[in-house]
A and B are shown apart, each in its own frame.
Chain A
Amino acid sequence: MSIRISQIDKRYGQTRALEPIDLDIHDGELIGLLGPSGSGKTTLLRIVAGLEQADGGSIHFGDRDVTRVHVRDRRIGFVFQHYALFRHMTVFDNVAFGLTAMPRSRRPSSGEIRSRVMQLLEMVRLQDFARRFPAQLSGGQQQRVSLARALALKPDVLLLDEPFGALDAKVRQELRRWLRHLHEELHFTSLFVTHDQEEALELSDRVVVMSNGRVEQIATPDTLYRHPANQFVFEFLGDVNRLEGDVEAEVLTCGDARVAVPGVENGRQELLLRPHEIRLGEQPDACAHLPVSVTAVVPVGAEVRLELEADWLGEPWLATISHAEFERLDVKRGKRLFAQPSRLHRFDTPRPQTLAPLATS
């Protein structure tokens, strides 16, 4: 079922929680709402659910206008950040709740309910836990119960509010993969909220980046990462290094550091680059003379993270290099090296610009 959000806005007293927002979600799509806390993403999700009323605008599920439809009649499944399981009911009764709460005329027989619930519990791999109480389960198990409960009524739309936010990293990974799987299998339309960019990029077909109640960009994870619409999106999607200096004749100078910046006009400029867009060498090259010293070395997984400092830098840079490079340069704390940016990004221009100052490779 597709979802069409048009011109939805919301105020809390004087503060504007949501600017008028438009968003079209296709049938079967998995959409991530990404943003820092206070960006309005949860408010938007709760408005789609009907748990909160928008001040203006409309929401359609398929052809059905649900703007004025009560939550209980919207046919949504909602998964809460802290699970919100009924603490005094067993796992079985939790999952069965939606079915047993139906008016008698529509309610399935207890046998049907039983088999449906067991089938759902099997799907979330908790069939052996049916008689337990929520407090007797781990966080990850509780969240799976909550998912099964939300899916019991076969909702058209599944809404998830920071579903994995309260879990530890490993369980989160596992549940993410599993949700992706489930989504492909059952093909419901879903919208989830997260502040974790990795989660948004990994799970979503498309990501909606929000800040201050506004949509900053709606794009596929790939586009979002490669072509961020503005500085906010660029900075929110990963670590960022800053380079600020005066440009004259396409060369940026900052203290004793220099770098070629082809096509950049004269004046004070701010350029940004990602940690993996820094190369390191023993010598400066023709395009860049950026002396730095290594202040921290952290090997993580496939790469080595380095913290770089210099007098010409306001805040230290973060660089990631391969283990091979790390060994070749014999990097140690305190070692002096030269940085060579492979790419530089500008966002103060009308359109974002990317430049490649490296002439030689």
Chain B
Amino acid sequence: MIRIGDAPRVRRLLIGTALTLTALFLLLPLVAIFAQALMSGIDVYWQNLSSVYTLSAIGLTLLVAAITVPVNLVFGVFLAWLVTRFDFPGRRLLQTLIDIPFAVSPVVAGLVYLLLYGRNGWLGGWLDAHDIQIMFAWPGIVLVTLFVTCPFVARELIPLMQTQGSREEEAAVTLGASGWTIFRRVTLPNIRHALLYGVILTNARAVGEFGAVSVVAGAIRGQTNTLPLQVEQLYQDYNTVGAFTSASLLALLALLTLAAKAALEWRAARRETAT
């Protein structure tokens, strides 16, 4: 059988193009980030990294991820379980609603939260009266990040749980297992790879989110700047090296995430071939 692209010349051309484009569009920018960050030497890099503002941005970013990831992990599993294991009126609607954060631009999401919780917002007056500040403080940042990242886990789990069906859980219940035992010993082990993958994606987005966060954060240096906001602000201040230093941290996180994902996929593939 002759396939398109079987001729050696065509094949070399196609592979060459793909590799060149990958290098140009994906690899080069990544290298550029680290090159720029280290332009003035390792000492300056280290100085930038250990500045109070950068450290605070790192801290806030980690805090946001530390809250967002577990909350959305639980929420995502709950949602996927609900949608795939029960039939109730509004199930399809719920499945569509899950995708809203994907469909809406993050900036719009940020604005909506501002409208709701801001000083002149619907709930803002009440919050203000009770001296609770959500906007322009870390709770607001966490809220919008939760919104933006909430579909990731559920989206990973729903197709998998749909194809797996509920037969194993039914078998477990006929054997007298309680709901929690079934979840812990039957459901969870079957979905753990997809779940981890969902968590990795959630984490990546929580750390890297810019649009929604920039609307509600208010850009108070050293207080409400996450790493992406910090990058932008430093760049606006013509502190290119500083901006790229923070950017290199984000890039590093991205690389770690990718490595974790690859490791998971590799392990899953090895399990497949083992059985």
| A interface residues, Cβ below 8 angstroms from B | 49, 51, 71-73, 76-78, 80, 82, 84-88, 97-98, 101-102, 133, 135-136, 146, 149-150, 152-153
Which of B95-103, B148-156, B172-180, B255-263 is near enough to bind chain A?
A: B172-180
**B167, CB-defined interface residue at 8 Å:** yes
The residue in chain B whose Cβ has the minimal distance to the Cβ of A75 is B176
Contact assessment for B168 and A87 in the assembled complex, using a CB-CB cutoff below 8 Å: yes
Contact assessment for A49 and B174 in the assembled complex, using a CB-CB cutoff below 8 Å: yes
Contact assessment for A72 and B275 in the assembled complex, using a CB-CB cutoff below 8 Å: no
- Beyond A51-B170, A86-B186, A87-B168, whether A149 also contacts B275 by CB under 8 A is no
The residue in chain A whose Cβ has the minimal distance to the Cβ of B177 is A101
- Beyond A82-B167, A86-B186, A87-B190, whether A97 also contacts B174 by CB under 8 A is no
Contact assessment for A72 and B176 in the assembled complex, using a CB-CB cutoff below 8 Å: yes
Q: Per a CB cutoff under 8 Å, which of B171, B174, B176 touches A102?
A: B176
Digitize B170-212: 1 where CB-to-A-CB distance is under 8 Å, 0 elsewhere.
1111111110010001100110000000000000000000000
Contact assessment for A101 and B275 in the assembled complex, using a CB-CB cutoff below 8 Å: no
Contact assessment for B174 and A101 in the assembled complex, using a CB-CB cutoff below 8 Å: no
Digitize B236-275: 1 where CB-to-A-CB distance is under 8 Å, 0 elsewhere.
0000000000000000000000000000000000000001
The residues of A that contact B189 with a CB separation of less than 8 Å are 88
Contact assessment for A84 and B181 in the assembled complex, using a CB-CB cutoff below 8 Å: no
Contact assessment for A84 and B167 in the assembled complex, using a CB-CB cutoff below 8 Å: yes
Contact assessment for B175 and A101 in the assembled complex, using a CB-CB cutoff below 8 Å: yes
The residue in chain A whose Cβ has the minimal distance to the Cβ of B174 is A78
Complex Cα distance, B171 from A72, in Å, reads 10
Q: How far is the CB of B5 from chain A (nearest CB, A)?
A: 35
Digitize B158-170: 1 where CB-to-A-CB distance is under 8 Å, 0 elsewhere.
0000000001101
Residue in A73, A98, A136, A150 with the greatest tally of chain B CB atoms within 10 Å: A98
Complex Cα distance, B170 from A98, in Å, reads 12
Complex Cα distance, B171 from A110, in Å, reads 22
- Beyond A101-B185, A133-B275, whether A86 also contacts B171 by CB under 8 A is yes
- Beyond A82-B167, A86-B168, A101-B181, whether A153 also contacts B176 by CB under 8 A is yes
Contact assessment for B190 and A88 in the assembled complex, using a CB-CB cutoff below 8 Å: yes
Contact assessment for A72 and B174 in the assembled complex, using a CB-CB cutoff below 8 Å: yes
The residues of B that contact A78 with a CB separation of less than 8 Å are 170-171, 174
Contact assessment for A72 and B170 in the assembled complex, using a CB-CB cutoff below 8 Å: no
Q: How far is the CB of A133 from chain B (nearest CB, A)?
A: 6
- Beyond A72-B176, A101-B176, A101-B185, whether A84 also contacts B190 by CB under 8 A is no
27 contacts between A and B (CB under 8 A): A49-B174, A51-B170, A51-B173, A72-B174, A72-B175, A72-B177, A72-B178, A73-B176, A78-B170, A78-B171, A78-B174, A80-B167, A84-B170, A85-B168, A86-B171, A87-B190, A88-B189, A97-B172, A97-B175, A97-B177, A97-B185, A98-B175, A98-B176, A101-B178, A149-B171, A152-B175, A153-B175
The residue in chain A whose Cβ has the minimal distance to the Cβ of B189 is A88
Q: How far is the CB of A156 from chain B (nearest CB, A)?
A: 13
The residues of B that contact A149 with a CB separation of less than 8 Å are 171, 175
- Beyond A86-B186, A101-B177, A101-B181, whether A80 also contacts B275 by CB under 8 A is no
Q: How far is the CB of A66 from chain B (nearest CB, A)?
A: 13
The residues of A that contact B177 with a CB separation of less than 8 Å are 72, 97-98, 101
The residue in chain B whose Cβ has the minimal distance to the Cβ of A97 is B175
Query: Which 5 pairs from chain A and chain B are nearest by CB?
Result: A98-B175, A84-B167, A101-B177, A78-B174, A84-B171
Q: How far is the CB of A111 from chain B (nearest CB, A)?
A: 20
Q: How far is the CB of A343 from chain B (nearest CB, A)?
A: 45
Complex Cα distance, B167 from A85, in Å, reads 9
Contact assessment for B170 and A80 in the assembled complex, using a CB-CB cutoff below 8 Å: yes
Contact assessment for A72 and B167 in the assembled complex, using a CB-CB cutoff below 8 Å: no
Residue in B168, B174, B178, B186 with the greatest tally of chain A CB atoms within 10 Å: B174
The residue in chain A whose Cβ has the minimal distance to the Cβ of B181 is A101
The residues of B that contact A76 with a CB separation of less than 8 Å are 174
Q: Per a CB cutoff under 8 Å, which of A73, A80, A136, A153 touches B171?
A: A80
Complex Cα distance, B172 from A25, in Å, reads 26
Complex Cα distance, B176 from A152, in Å, reads 11
- Beyond A88-B190, A97-B175, A153-B175, whether A136 also contacts B275 by CB under 8 A is yes
- Beyond A82-B167, A86-B168, A88-B189, whether A77 also contacts B275 by CB under 8 A is no
